[in-house]
Every structure is written in structure tokens, then in C-alpha cells.
Structure 1
């Protein structure tokens, strides 16, 4: 059996996510993943090593790479990962809080920062252990309102039980109080309470 995932032209982390989805349905065979840059090769190779599917990469031409995964569940590939998934009735990780304080990720180019943040929020939806709570304040408040490119991803998290909380003061400051489309409004006391009680806080 051979499967092909064409992830050329897709931004991070989509090549990894598409490869992971394809692996889940495979018992035995070869998964071929096509990407168009070396960073994607490295990320997909890491997935293959993590899943134990003997990844091999080859550069076909400029801007064209191929990664092969040799899948054989009978020999133990991915068995433990599959068992873990079956034992997780609730995908949320207790005490894990994601903090989004901007609608951009990192410093530098603003357009790139927004692209990276969109990718970060999407990646949150694909974690095997989701955060218990997502806190949005300052510029991060723009992510949960009408017109946000991350709105559907935040709605997906909420549908899986993740608490989405946006700073009310921030919404008022940016005149967005009537445009909140996911989760609920929070205050600084609750933000501090959630962060101080967290076992792990992640932020882009």
C-alpha cells in the first residue's frame, strides 16, 4: 500500500499535520510526503522519527523534496502512540494555559508575524493534549473577534472543551466589545488567577 501526501505550497505546520493524519490510517505500507522547502523536510522527518516509521528524504530538484515513511504496525511502529490516543477521553491537559498577548508572533515584519500567529493557533488545535484555557489580551484580543483569521481555529478549540477568555478592558480599548465571536470576556483578576494556577504556560 502506498499513500501520497502532496504538501507542496503549504505553510508550517500543515505538512506535518497532513502527514500525521495520513499515518493514522495506515497499518502497513509506504507514505510519500512531497514538500517544497528544507524546513518542511526537517519538520516532517522529526515526525517520522517520533512515530518510528524510518523516514528517508531525497531532494528531487530545486524546491522539490520527497520523504518516505516505511510503516509496519506489526513490527511495533506507532503502536504505543495509538494506545495513548485510545486512552484519552479528554484531550485537554490539566493545568496547561496558552497565552496570546498579540495578534502577531515575534518581532520584525508585521505580515510575517500575523502568518506565524495564525499557524501557531492552528497548531494548538492539532495537539494531542489541548490547553485547558486560552487567554487573549492586549493585541491578542483581536484574534477572537469578527474578521480574525484564527476565529475558526479558536471555535474548534472551544468545541473540544477548551476555555477561551478574552480581556474585556482590551476589547473596550480597541472598540471591539461588540465583535467578540468566540469564548467569553474576562478580567485581569481572572487572568492572573489562571496564569498563577497553571502548571505550564505556553506563549508564542
Structure 2
């Protein structure tokens, strides 16, 4: 069994350490130790994407993730080029709960209007990513929550930075999207045809 001790490591290091162990050892079973909830969620989700089934045990602040590789684990395939006529894949990264600088009250109103209008991008809107104070737009009570939930209901993938939620003590208040890590965000940037930063 491969063992990864990722205690004390900040995002995305636990996922990167797990990824490195899988790539170098190709283990059928592995055990990963982490000491915070965002790392537990991110490592578990990454393992699932690699064809592993995970069980988690908690002892104090330490989570032990035990993973077993399934028979139908995905094989690495080259990324196919998009067929001609396929929509452009646009990733929108929202790094603030306000739009622009100068007046935060106005900025908050502009951000609500921006999120409301995102649906006009149609099929070209491929990923919506929230980092830094942008994660505040995904929590209960946010004026943008209903519109973001509507976007998610259409099948849009929404990624919310786990480190950022943890920093603002908002992990329990997130109501929409997948809690994610910097590896997922960087990978999404690589795959996108265009990245728009707000």
C-alpha cells in the first residue's frame, strides 16, 4: 500500500503529493493523511477522478483517507481537438465579491448584475471559478446565490476555492459549486480556450 503523509501541507500540496504517488507507484491501494477539511475533500475528489473508491476516518484533526483502485479506473488518453463548430470554452474567474474599485456598494451591485447576465454567454461559458473574496458570492445569504445555482442547474461546472473558503471561515456556508483546489483551477485554465478574470 502506498502511503502519503500530507499533514501540515497547504492546498494544493496534498493533492499534488497524492498525484505524484499515483504517477510513480500506480498503487492498487493507498492511504493519505491530511489535517484539514478542504484537503480531505480535494484529495477524495481527486482520487475519485483517478478511479479510486475512498473511505475516510477521522481521529482528532487528522483524516485518514484509504483508497482502493477500481477495475474500471480511467486510462489516460490524449486530449482530442474540439470538433469544428464546437463552442469556445470560456472560463470566468471571479476573484472578488465586488466588481471594480472605488465604491464597494456600487461594486457589489455591479457584481450581482454581472452574475445575472452571465447566462447570455450561452454554451461558451464552460467553467465559473470563485477565488479569494469571490467565494463570498457562493454562500447562504449572498445576493448572487440564486443566479449561480440556476447556472449550475444548466450543467455548468462551478469551482469554489477551498483554501479561500477556509480562510474566511465559510466552508460550512457554501451553497453551490464544487469545493476545489489550485490544481483543478490551473488545469481548467489550460483546457479553456479563453480565461476572463473579474
* TM-score (structure 2 length as normaliser): 0.54
| Residue ranges of structure 1 left out of the alignment (5+ in a row) | 1-91
Q: Distance in 2 between matches of 1:105 and 1:158?
A: 21
Number of corresponding residues: 113
Structure 2 gaps, min length 5: 1-85
- In the alignment, what sits opposite 1:142? 136
Paired with 2:106 and 2:148, the residues of 1 have a C-alpha distance of 20
CA distance in 2, matches of 1:172, 1:108: 27
Distance verdict in 2 for CA 1:182–1:93, change over 3 Å = farther
Q: Out of 190, 193, 197, which is 2:187 matched to?
A: 193
Residue 94 of structure 1: CA displacement?
A: 4.6
Question: Partner of 1:115 in structure 2?
Answer: 109
CA contact (8 A) 1:93 1:132 kept: no
Of 158, 164, 173, which aligns to 2:167?
173
Kindly indicate whether structure 1 or structure 2 has the higher relative contact order, using CA contacts under 8 Å at least 6 residues apart: 2
The structure number with the bigger radius of gyration is 1
The superposition leaves residues 140-193 of structure 1 with CA deviations (integer Å, 9 ceiling, x where unpaired) of 000111111110111111111100110000000000000110111000111111
Alignment correspondent of 1:131: 125
1:117 counterpart SS class? helix
Residues 198, 113 of structure 1: alpha-carbon distance in 2 compared, 3 angstrom cutoff = same
Change (3 A) 1:128 1:190: closer
1:54-73 maps to which residues of 2 (within 5 A)? none
Distance across 2 between alignment mates of 1:93 and 1:120: 21
Query: How large is the RMSD of aligned CA atoms in angstroms?
Result: 1.5
Alignment TM-score, normalising by the size of structure 1 = 0.53
Distance, in Å, in 1 between the alignment partners of 2:135 and 2:169 is: 11
